[in-house]
Amino acid sequence: MDAVIGVLSVIGFIVSLVLIVVFAIKKKKVLPPLISLVCCFTIFVVCVALPDNSSPSPAPNTDNKQSEQTDEEKAKEMLTKASNSFEKGDYIDGISTCKSIQESYPDTNVAAGVQDFLADKFAQYQNFSAEDLMNEYINNVVNADKNITGNPVIVSGVISKIDKTDSTLAVLLRCDQVFYAIQLNFRGSDESAVAALNPGDVIKVIGKCDGLSGKILLVFDNKTNVILSNCYIID
């Protein structure tokens, strides 16, 4: 709209200028075309000077907003991600994310509260000593399968042996049983953590309880084991 008015004002300016020349030649009063000239010129200047309100406003730069996030805000986002992981049953990702918060944003209030956050999450799982978990299966395997098997649990005990098969890194926890043991299976990516362990160490882990193996594993001294898979060392 402003462009149209600007064009018309230019045309009016030219016409007024021509009339002034004609009136001057004919010795007539040039005041009327002079007034028209001034008006057209003023309108043209106004149209050029004023911004075009019809132009869309530039979109906000979300990248700048992202880069302006404080460490506290970034840590909060990561803690939300960790909480969601725990709710989905992915405790490994939840714990790993919490450790990343402590490493990446150690001076934040969120990092200071990570241990309390984890303690609250761990309190939601069944917690056993190696002896107690073994007794649950020895005394009543039907009840143990109903209430424990298939769920994440926390187990602590003394390491009796560390070994591996082609695909499994495994740690046995000491039990006062001849034909049974608690077997903690770790992922291949945890090799460094498992390599740092020694028989006699006290360990606390979280893992998914798969129940009794139902078979003899020769690599583990002919013991039938209660298996925990996807284990993660808590302490």
Write the CA distances from 129 to 22, 136, 153, 175, 196, integer angstroms: 111, 11, 10, 10, 22
Whether 194 and 95 share a structural domain = no
Classify residue 155: in a domain, yes or no. yes
Phi–psi pair at 60, nearest 5 degrees: -60, 145
> What does the alpha-carbon distance between residue 130 and residue 183 come to, in Å, rounded to a whole number?
10
Whether 83 and 105 share a structural domain = yes
Classify residue 145: in a domain, yes or no. yes
Whether 107 and 28 share a structural domain = no
Whether 149 and 194 share a structural domain = yes
Q: Domain of 104?
A: 72-122
Q: At what angle do helices 71-87 and 91-104 cross, to 10 degrees?
A: 170
Whether 132 and 117 share a structural domain = no
User: Are residues 133 and 192 in contact, defined by beta-carbon separation less than 8 angstroms?
Assistant: no
Classify residue 57: in a domain, yes or no. no
Whether 111 and 152 share a structural domain = no
Classify residue 58: in a domain, yes or no. no
Whether 131 and 227 share a structural domain = yes
Whether 136 and 159 share a structural domain = yes
Classify residue 11: in a domain, yes or no. yes
The predicted pLDDT at position 61 comes to: 56
How many folded domains does the chain comprise?
A: 3
> What does the alpha-carbon distance between residue 123 and residue 142 come to, in Å, rounded to a whole number?
25
Whether 10 and 91 share a structural domain = no
Whether 144 and 190 share a structural domain = yes
Whether 131 and 107 share a structural domain = no
Whether 25 and 102 share a structural domain = no
What residue type is assigned to position 189 of the chain? S
pLDDT along the chain (235 residues), means of 10: 60 64 63 63 62 54 64 95 93 94 94 95 95 92 94 95 85 83 90 94 96 60 78 91
Phi-psi region of 231 (alpha: psi -120 to 50; beta: other; left: phi over 0): beta
- Report the CATH number at residue 159: 2.40.50.140
